[in-house]
A = this chain, B = another copy of it.
Amino acid sequence: VALDRHHIVAAGLVILRDHGLAGLSMRRLAAELNVAPGALYWHIASKQQLLVALAEAILTVPAPGAEEPSDIRLAAHWLRSALLSVRDGADVVSFAYALEPERLPAITRLRDIFAARLPEQQAEWAAQALTHFVLGAVAKQQNQAELVRASIVPNAVDEQTVLAGFEFGVEAILAGVGRVARHRA
């Protein structure tokens, strides 16, 4: 059973799914792979790099259409659903985004899409605003879910309302970026 980087990441995703980010340790991961903890370090440099690799994996789901979306609304929704596909996905990706933002194409793509109709600097700022919103919104939703799971908080929030709030935020940022950019041009 050859232990390689790909196997490690796959096992990490399973732990994330079953136990969340708090339950993901290098030692548990090694145990899951029937291997000594030190063995992991032959294939990956550190836990931080493992999390970056996990983030890349989370964001590597095929887009709903055949191609990657060139529409910002689509890209934002696609990013959201990718984050929601794994427990604590937003926290994992936020961590990776803080460490190595350029290694996450699903996020750098937002900047590229804005760059088609905005000057470079503004495209970057617009993409960052949208990124912060999406990561924060999904992280809040998933953290809430964790609190419910741990029965620290009783009431689960209505999925419809959460989605409506997400769309409100995306629409506001897109409309606002358009206005501010126009105002500066």
Residues of A within 8 A of B (CB): 97-99, 122, 124-126, 128-129, 131-133, 135-137, 139-140, 143, 147, 164-165, 168-169, 171-177, 179-180
- Contact for A136 among B133, B171, B177, CB less than 8 A: B133
- Contact for A129 among B131, B172, B179, B180, CB less than 8 A: B172
| Copies held by the complex | 2
- Contact for A174 among B125, B147, B176, CB less than 8 A: B176
Give chain B nearest CB distance to A136 CB in angstroms. 3
Instruction: Evaluate contact between A175 and B179: CB separation under 8 angstroms.
Output: yes
Considering the complex, give the chain B residue whose CB is closest to the CB of A177: B172
Considering the complex, give the chain B residue whose CB is closest to the CB of A168: B125
Given A175-B175, A176-B174, A131:B136 Cβ within 8 A? yes
Given A168-B129, A169-B125, A139:B98 Cβ within 8 A? yes
Q: How far is the CA of A140 from the CA of B124 in the complex (A)?
A: 14
Considering the complex, give the chain B residue whose CB is closest to the CB of A136: B132
Instruction: Evaluate contact between A129 and B133: CB separation under 8 angstroms.
Output: yes
B residues less than 8 Å from A165 (CB atoms):
124-125, 128
Give chain B nearest CB distance to A143 CB in angstroms. 4
Q: How far is the CA of A169 from the CA of B139 in the complex (A)?
A: 20
- Contact for A176 among B140, B147, B179, CB less than 8 A: B179
B residues less than 8 Å from A124 (CB atoms):
165
